Structure 1
Amino acid sequence: MKIAVFGATGGTGRQVVEQALAAGHQVTALARNPARLTLANANLTVVTGNVLNAVNVEETLQGADAVVVSLGNTESNPDYIVSLGTQVIVAAMQRLGAPRRIVVVSSLGVGDSKDQVPFAFKLLMKSVLRKPMEDKERQEALVKASDLDWTIVRPGGLTNGPATGRYQSGIDTKIGAGQVSRADVAAFVLKQLTDSTYLHQAPAIS
């Protein structure tokens, strides 16, 4: 496949890129700073630009079979970059007519998964994490409102450990927000690109 990746320099996004390349896929990644994505692989194309720039986004989407969105909030990003960037991506996909498949990395605690996170995290969601979680709420809402073939992946607490293949996933609301490695999340995300099990659904992974 040819996969367009947004948020490729973040922890999970980079794992998506590395694992996709290792599996023989072609990857086009959008990055503000290409130096942060120096991987010696002929199947990797890095587009220099910003996710808020429709021209940059369309260039990244050219020829893609599927899209992975793993945007995150950082100090160097403007407010609501996750939802605003996703809005640009969705609009570009609809304008171009292809690709149709999009897998978005969100978080447990968003939308109807609020009761799947512990009480302490709920308190954080109302204080220091209020704006990032609101950003993800907006992101999920616009993805769900689109006519694209979407899946939203909601991980629990992210770690930098290796891929283990040992995790819980699915739409069972009993899946709590336990720790899961970014590598395992990336593997699950890539699996969704060719699997319609969770089409128009938001599975948890923990």
Structure 2
Amino acid sequence: MKIVLFGMTGRTGSEIARLALQDGHQVSALVRTPEKIAAQDKNLSIIEGDVTVKEDVARAVKDADLVISALNTDGGEVLTESMPLIIDAMNAEDIKRIITIGTAGILQSRVEPDVLRYQSSESKRKLTRAAEEHHKTYLLLEESYLDWTVVCPTYLPDGEAVGTCREERNYLPEDGKKITVGDTALFVYRQIDSDKYIKSRVGIAY
């Protein structure tokens, strides 16, 4: 399977790539700084480019089977600038499946079910800019014709996968406090062969 990966230079993206390559998948990663990629594998293709440039995104997704986005907010608007380009490129190539990583802030609030966690008293964060970017990206996917899944981890410390976590559609599992980078990557990777959360957000935590 040919997987296009955006965000491979990040903590979670690099681990997703490792899992995919370990299983013999082809991975194409669009990165601005190829020198940041230490991994070497015959099935890994590094494409130098920018995810906010239409031509670069189109080049990356050509002939792919599915797309995984592990992009973060990067302190700017990379998520909302890139997602329309990714959706357009996927439509042009007739690629349907995309798995992205969001944030627990864009799951539904348990205390105020009509709003998202970051918009409610459930959130302890004073700054909401990152959640707002993820929210806009989620809405773009929701309006698309793609088979999307948004995986929404809570606090994300470094750490290897233990292989199990709690999961819940549209909500963060109750009292979920954290989940490691390793288990987040593993959960995202497992969605490749699952249709359980197509056109859904899914909250994950220990």
TM-score, scaled to structure 1: 0.89
State the alpha-carbon separation in 2 of the partners of residues 122 and 170 from structure 1.
18
- Indicate conservation of the 8 Å contact 2:30/2:47, yes or no: yes
- What's the CA shift string for 1:58-96, capped at 9, x where partnerless? 111112111101111225xxx221121112111111122
Question: What secondary structure does 1:16 align onto?
Answer: helix
Number of the residue aligned with 1:186: 185
Encode CA deviations 1:179-202: one digit per residue, 9 max, x unaligned.
111111111111111211111111
Q: Note closer, same or farther for the CA distance 1:120–1:195 as it changes in structure 2 (3 Å cut).
A: same
Question: What is the aligned counterpart of 1:134 among 132, 135, 153?
Answer: 132
Match of 2:164 in 1: 166
Q: 1:9 to 1:113 in 2, by over 3 A?
A: farther
Equivalent residue number for residue 69 of structure 1: 69
| Number of the residue aligned with 2:143 | 145
Distance 1:53 1:182, change over 3 A: same
Structure 2 unmatched ranges of 5 or more: none
RMSD: 2.1
User: What is aligned with 1:108?
Assistant: 104
- Structure 1 position 82 matched with structure 2 position 84: no
Q: CA deviation at 1:28?
A: 0.2
Q: Is contact 2:21–2:44 with CA below 8 Å preserved after alignment?
A: yes
Q: In structure 2, what is the equivalent of residue 8 of structure 1?
A: 8
Counterpart amino acid of residue 163 in structure 2: G
Percent identical residues: 28
- The Cα offsets for residues 158-205 of structure 1, whole Å up to 9 and x where unpaired, read as 111001112111317360442111111111111111211111111111
Change (3 A) 1:199 1:35: same
Give the number of aligned pairs. 199
Change (3 A) 1:65 1:31: same
Query: Matched residues in 2 for 1:106 and 1:194: separation?
Result: 19
CA distance in 1, matches of 2:84, 2:134: 12
Cα distance, 1:18 vs structure 2: 1.0
**Paired residue for 1:51?**
51
- What TM-score results when the alignment is normalised by the length of structure 2? 0.89
Stretch of structure 1 that moved more, 169-178 or 8-17: 169-178
Q: Provide the C-alpha distance between the structure 2 equivalents of 1:153 and 1:68, rounded to a whole number of angstroms.
A: 11
Which aligned segments of 4 or more residues in structure 1 are displaced greater than 3 angstroms?
A: 113-121
Output the amino acid matched with 1:2: K
Q: Is the 8 A contact 1:57 1:89 kept in 2?
A: yes
* 1:81–1:113 CA distance, 2 compared to 1 (3 A): farther
Say which SS state the counterpart of residue 161 (structure 2) adopts: coil
Q: Which residue of 2 aligns with 1:93?
A: 90
Return the offset for 1:117.
6.0
Cα contact 1:52–1:84 (8 A) shared by 2 = yes
* Kept in 2: contact 1:108–1:114 (CA 8 A): no
1:171 partner amino acid: R
- The question of whether the paired residues in 1 share the 8 Å contact of 2:107 and 2:203 is answered with no
